[in-house]
């Protein structure tokens, strides 16, 4: 594999705050487990301890399904970072997780459940998760990850000075999405049409699509939207794109779109359509190329903000931060199956190459 950093960080972001270890309480046998059964929609860390009543409580609302490996990895990274900061799950900390699957009804239901548990703070993953919690209360502290436009969504007053009960980590700026269009043109210069697969209910979807349209116009590419409401709708749109010729796919990152991941990858291979994906997991499943921020890194950094809020600081005073790490991943096996001869310069810039 050839690896090197593809892009410098957008917007800059403060480094993780120094690790501050708190004194540990006497060890008491505890049981903590993560139940990832998606049918119940949540995964509580259950704590059995004489000190459970005194433990601080964190609610986590994820915008993914319970069996999503990247979501699970994010929570694991978050918990590990908290432990490095001196917190001990089961001793002085309890974590309750709900999986909203980027579904409006589920997000609202599980946001209400978490708020009813009276947590000290909520970690919300994705724009829809934050909106669900904010729709119930604006008094409870929130640290978010994976939000595209927190100011535009009304979660914060300003990025530098949030001013309310929420702060956290942007997943990217809208202008970043131009890179997806540029990558597809670099992969296949003859592309004239691109279909953008998106979840229309996501509050950030329209602004994201607008940024993609701006980039496409500059590159003389026709853009169309594919709403990921159903498998049949996605299949019809991809078949139509393939029949029109000189087409490519942009698969935006959201749990709703990821639910159709296998179908999208299958159809892209069947119709020999180059596709760029906003979720890293798609490449391991046979997708062609991923470019985007390292989402796991955001969960690690979020632990620093959660730690500071639990120790008395206010979200209103903690600036929203942009990603500091972006990854480019290429699946050469898929490129070969599609008959694509990728530029050597592109491969050399990749952080990871799957061969």
Q: What is the pLDDT of residues 194-250, one digit of tens each?
A: 999 988 776 667 777 888 988 888 889 999 999 888 899 999 999 999 999 999 999
The CATH number of 174-292+327-354 is: 3.40.50.2300
d(CA 54, CA 50): 9
Instruction: Compute the half-sphere exposure of residue 20: CA atoms within 13 Å on the CB side of its CA.
Output: 11
Domains 38-171+295-324 and 174-292+327-354 share a fold: yes
Mean pLDDT calculated for residue range 1-20: 35
Greatest distance between any 2 Cα atoms in the chain = 68
Query: Is the model's pLDDT at 174 over the cut of 50?
Result: yes
Rg (alpha carbons) of the chain, rounded to whole number: 21
pLDDT of residue 339: 93
pLDDT band at residue 259, thresholds of 50, 70 and 90? Answer: confident
Per the prediction, the chain carries an average pLDDT of 84
Calculate the alpha carbon distances from 227 to 101, 102, 173, 198, 202 in Å: 16, 14, 22, 5, 11
pLDDT of residue 49: 39
Lowest mean pLDDT among 17-26, 106-115, 313-322: 17-26
Placement of tokens 């119940």 in the chain = 40
Evaluate whether 86 touches 19 at the Cβ level (below 8 Å): yes
pLDDT band at residue 47, thresholds of 50, 70 and 90? Answer: very low
pLDDT band at residue 258, thresholds of 50, 70 and 90? Answer: confident
Mean pLDDT calculated for residue range 57-81: 94
Q: b or e along 50-64 (b: 16 or more beta carbons within 10 Å of the residue's beta carbon)?
A: eebeebebbbbbbbb
Query: Is the model's pLDDT at 172 over the cut of 90?
Result: no
d(CA 54, CA 309): 17
Lowest mean pLDDT among 15-29, 49-63, 74-88: 15-29
Q: What is the pLDDT of residues 96-116, one digit of tens each?
A: 999 999 889 999 999 999 999
pLDDT of residue 204: 67
Question: Does the domain formed by 38-171+295-324 have CATH 3.40.50.2300?
Answer: yes
β-bridge partners, 227:
198
Q: What is the pLDDT of residues 192-205, one digit of tens each?
A: 999 999 887 766 67
Q: Both ends of the chain: CA-CA distance in Å?
A: 8
Mean pLDDT calculated for residue range 68-84: 95
pLDDT of residue 152: 86
Domain definitions of the chain by residue range: 38-171+295-324, 174-292+327-354
Calculate the alpha carbon distances from 199 to 82, 206, 246, 282 in Å: 32, 10, 24, 16
Separation of CA 49 from chain center:
33
d(CA 163, CA 319): 9
Query: Is the model's pLDDT at 135 over the cut of 80?
Result: yes
Calculate the alpha carbon distances from 185 to 1, 45, 246, 329 in Å: 23, 46, 11, 16
Q: Which two tokens stand for residue 25?
A: 């309480």
Q: Beta strand 42-44 with 93-99: parallel, antiparallel or unpaired? A: antiparallel
pLDDT band at residue 254, thresholds of 50, 70 and 90? Answer: confident
Mean pLDDT calculated for residue range 124-153: 94
Burial tier of 174 (Cβ tally within 10 Å: 0-12, 13-18, 19+):
middle
d(CA 238, CA 269): 11
């Amino acid at each position: 594999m050839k690896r090197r950093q593809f892009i410098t960080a957008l917007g800059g972001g403060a480094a993780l705050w120094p690790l501050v270890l708190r004194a540990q309480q006497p060890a008491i046998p505890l049981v903590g487990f993560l139940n990832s059964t998606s049918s119940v929609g949540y995964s509580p860390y259950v704590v059995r301890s004489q000190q459970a009543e005194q433990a601080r409580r964190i609610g986590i609302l994820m915008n993914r399904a319970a069996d999503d490996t990247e979501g699970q990895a994010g929570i694991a990274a978050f918990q590990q970072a908290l432990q490095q900061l001196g917190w001990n799950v089961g001793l002085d900390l309890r974590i309750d997780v709900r999986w909203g699957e980027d579904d409006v009804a589920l997000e609202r239901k599980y946001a209400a459940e978490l708020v009813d548990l009276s947590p000290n703070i909520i970690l919300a993953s994705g724009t829809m998760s934050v909106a669900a919690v904010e729709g119930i209360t604006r008094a409870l502290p929130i640290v978010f990850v994976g939000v595209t436009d927190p100011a535009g969504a009304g979660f914060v007053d300003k990025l530098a000075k949030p001013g309310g009960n929420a702060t956290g980590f942007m997943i990217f700026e809208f202008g970043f999405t131009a890179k997806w269009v540029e990558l597809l043109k670099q992969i296949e210069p003859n592309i004239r049409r691109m279909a953008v697969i998106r979840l229309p209910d996501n509050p950030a979807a329209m602004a994201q699509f607008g940024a993609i349209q701006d980039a496409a116009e500059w590159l003389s590419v026709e853009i169309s939207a594919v709403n990921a409401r159903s498998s049949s709708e996605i299949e019809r749109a991809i078949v139509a794109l393939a029949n029109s010729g000189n087409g490519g796919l942009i698969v935006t990152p959201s749990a709703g779109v990821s639910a159709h991941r296998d179908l999208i990858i299958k159809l892209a291979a069947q119709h020999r359509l180059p596709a760029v994906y906003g979720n890293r997991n798609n490449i391991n499943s046979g997708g062609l190329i991923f470019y985007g921020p390292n989402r796991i890194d955001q969960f690690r950094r979020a632990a620093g903000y959660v730690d500071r809020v639990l120790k008395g600081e206010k979200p209103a005073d903690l600036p929203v931060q942009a990603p500091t790490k972006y990854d480019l991943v290429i699946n050469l096996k898929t490129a070969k199956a599609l008959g694509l001869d990728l530029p050597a310069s592109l491969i050399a810039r990749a952080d990871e190459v799957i061969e």
